Amino acid sequence: MTQPLTLSTGAAQMDTLNSLLGIEDGSSLAALRDQRPEATRHTEGSYQALFSDTTATALSPSERFATALFVATLHAEPALIAHYRTRLDATAGASDAPIADILRGPDAVGLPTRLRAMLAHADLLVIRPAAATPADLAALTAAGLSDPEIVTLSQLIAFVSFQVRVLVGLRLLRGDDDARNANVPAIGPLAAPATGFTQDVLSWAPWIAPFEAADATDEQRAVLPGQRIDSPYFRLLALDPPVLGERTATDMGIFYTHGGLPRADRELAATAASRLNGCIYCASVHSRRASELSKRTEDVQRLLDEGINATLDERWRAIVDLAAALSVTPPAATQTHLSRLRTLGLTDLEILDVMQSAAFFAWANRLMLTLGEPVRQA
Q: What is the pTM of this model?
A: 0.95
Three-point CA angle 235, 72, 63, nearest 5°? 60
Whole-Å CA distances, 344 to 242, 312, 317, 338, 359: 40, 14, 11, 10, 22
Nearest alpha-carbon partner for 360 in 270, 245, 227: 270
Tens-place pLDDT, residues 264-305: 999 999 999 999 999 999 999 999 999 999 999 999 999 999
Band of residue 110 on the pLDDT scale cut at 50, 70, 90: confident
Tens-place pLDDT, residues 132-189: 999 999 999 999 999 999 999 999 999 999 999 999 999 999 999 877 766 789 999 9
* Contact indicator for 280, 202 with CB cutoff of 8 Å: yes
Residue 378 is predicted with a pLDDT of 75
From the number of C-beta atoms within 10 Å of its C-beta (0-12, 13-18, 19+), residue 10 rates as middle
* Beta-bridge partners for 188: 329
Maximal C-alpha separation, the chain: 57
* Mean pLDDT, rounded, of the chain: 94
From the number of C-beta atoms within 10 Å of its C-beta (0-12, 13-18, 19+), residue 146 rates as middle
Domains of the chain: 12-173 (1.20.1290.10), 193-376 (1.20.1290.10)
Tens-place pLDDT, residues 324-333: 999 999 999 9
Residue 13 is predicted with a pLDDT of 44
